[in-house]
Amino acid sequence: MQLVNSEQTAAAMVHAALEGNADIVKMLLHAGIDADSRDSDGNTALMAASFLGNTFIIQSLLNSGAGINAKDNVLGVTALMIASAEGRTDAVGLLLEAGIDKEAKNLKGDTALMLAAYHGHLAIVKKLLEGGIEINTENNDGRTALINAATRNHFDVVQTLMAAGAKVTPMLRKAMTDTSEGNNATS
């Protein structure tokens, strides 16, 4: 059975991946639906599977030629950024092994490391560092992974980043001063 690639079949592929329905994803792939099909926001099935951390669907899509570095149309995020922000350690590992661009930036200039640090996902921060990601990259606002972790009080992530060579920048000093002054403010 051959299905016609269309907006509806593309959306069905992304939806099936987002629901974690590996059987439907495999049927759609077998029927000839493009592994890089996108929904109206530019999300791919690989992004949806990465959101869930479904390594079976991720591997099926990669085996079918899914574009590993695709970005969505709304935030400019990749599957790695999504998996990193959502705390999907196994998915991050699989995407890194597959050769995803670990230095890719979203529209705000954030990398997967910055997103993992912001959300306090220590295991992912460690995995990305082991994968050789640049630790001191700044986003469009001059923030780094260390600033993200420090301002969100993720002590273990801060320790890990500093031990790995993260630089303490003037922006971090200011952010930490502003945070401590806010904690000492009286009502």
Instruction: Clarify whether residues 81 and 4 are in a common domain.
Output: yes
Burial class (CB in 10 A: 0-12, 13-18, 19+), 26: middle
Interacting residues of 6 by C-beta distance below 8 A, sequence separation 6+: none
Distance separating alpha carbons of residues 186 and 183, to the nearest angstrom: 9
pLDDT higher than 70, residue 177: no
Instruction: Clarify whether residues 90 and 113 are in a common domain.
Output: no
Task: Give pTM, 2 decimals.
Answer: 0.89
pLDDT of residue 5: 57
1: confidence class by pLDDT, cuts 50, 70, 90: very low
6 or 74: which carries more pLDDT confidence?
Answer: 74
CATH of residue 144: 1.25.40.20
Q: Using one digit for the tens of pLDDT, what is the confidence trace for 162-173?
A: 999 999 877 766
Q: How far is CA 58 from the centre of its chain?
A: 13
Q: Using one digit for the tens of pLDDT, what is the confidence trace for 13-25?
A: 999 999 999 999 9
Burial class (CB in 10 A: 0-12, 13-18, 19+), 113: buried
Instruction: Clarify whether residues 83 and 1 are in a common domain.
Output: yes
User: b or e along 86-96 (b: 16 or more beta carbons within 10 Å of the residue's beta carbon)?
Assistant: bbbbebbbbbb
pLDDT of residue 7: 73
Identify the domain boundary among 62, 85, 101: 101
Domain containing residue 82: 1-101
Instruction: Clarify whether residues 62 and 112 are in a common domain.
Output: no
DSSP letters for 3-18: PPP-HHHHHHHHHHHH
Instruction: Clarify whether residues 78 and 31 are in a common domain.
Output: yes
Instruction: Clarify whether residues 55 and 117 are in a common domain.
Output: no
- What is the average pLDDT across 134-163? 96
Dihedral angle sign, alpha carbons of residues 124, 129, 132, 135 = positive
Instruction: Clarify whether residues 88 and 115 are in a common domain.
Output: no
pLDDT of residue 179: 56
Instruction: Clarify whether residues 95 and 11 are in a common domain.
Output: yes
Instruction: Clarify whether residues 42 and 112 are in a common domain.
Output: no
DSSP count for the chain of H helices, then E strands: 11, 0
Instruction: Clarify whether residues 136 and 176 are in a common domain.
Output: yes
Structural domain total, the chain = 2
6: confidence class by pLDDT, cuts 50, 70, 90: confident
Identify the domain boundary among 78, 101, 124: 101
pLDDT higher than 60, residue 45: yes
Instruction: Clarify whether residues 114 and 172 are in a common domain.
Output: yes
Instruction: Clarify whether residues 129 and 181 are in a common domain.
Output: yes
What integer best gives the mean pLDDT of the chain? 91
∠ CA 160-108-173, rounded to 5°: 45
